[in-house]
């Protein structure tokens, strides 16, 4: 299927999300684009089991957190993103969702009133 055919089959929400991604990519420096491309390639080179485990873990995270986290990370420059990534690696895997939510509350991307509902799903 061509890209155009794929776009024509997307609903308005999906197209708006794609538009936002394109906007963020346009705002990246060449170095940031290359770093992101390297991460995509690293993901693609993972063993299928590793990719599946990562997808399952990400799939258990509340949709609001996933969207807010993506927006948050795209709002940072390359060095800030790397610092956040390094900090997150120090957080035990089972505590990362709570860590993300706390960081998103501090950034004002998730309301304090939403935390109980989000973390209650864990």
- Lowest-pLDDT range of 42-46, 50-54, 91-95: 50-54
Q: Please say whether the beta carbons of 104 and 110 come within 8 A.
A: yes
Give the pLDDT confidence score for residue 121 in this predicted structure. 57
Give the pLDDT confidence score for residue 84 in this predicted structure. 93
Q: Give the pLDDT confidence of 75-120 residue by residue, as tens digits.
A: 888 889 889 989 988 988 778 888 988 999 999 888 887 777 777 7
- Lowest-pLDDT range of 8-12, 24-28, 63-67, 118-122: 118-122
Give the pLDDT confidence score for residue 74 in this predicted structure. 84
Q: Give the torsion sign (CA, 26, 28, 30, 33).
A: negative
Q: Give the torsion sign (CA, 116, 118, 119, 122).
A: positive
């Amino acid at each position: 299927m061509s890209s155009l055919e794929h776009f024509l089959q997307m609903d308005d929400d999906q197209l708006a999300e794609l538009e936002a991604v394109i906007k963020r990519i346009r705002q990246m420096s060449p170095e940031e684009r290359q770093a992101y491309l390297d991460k995509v390639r690293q993901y693609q080179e993972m063993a299928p089991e590793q990719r599946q485990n990562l997808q399952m873990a990400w799939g258990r995270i509340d949709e609001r957190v996933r969207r807010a986290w993506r927006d948050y990370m795209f709002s940072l420059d390359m060095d800030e993103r790397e610092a956040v990534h390094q900090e997150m690696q120090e957080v035990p895997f089972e505590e990362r969702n709570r860590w993300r939510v706390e960081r998103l509350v501090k950034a004002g991307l998730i309301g304090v009133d939403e935390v109980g509902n989000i973390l209650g799903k864990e």
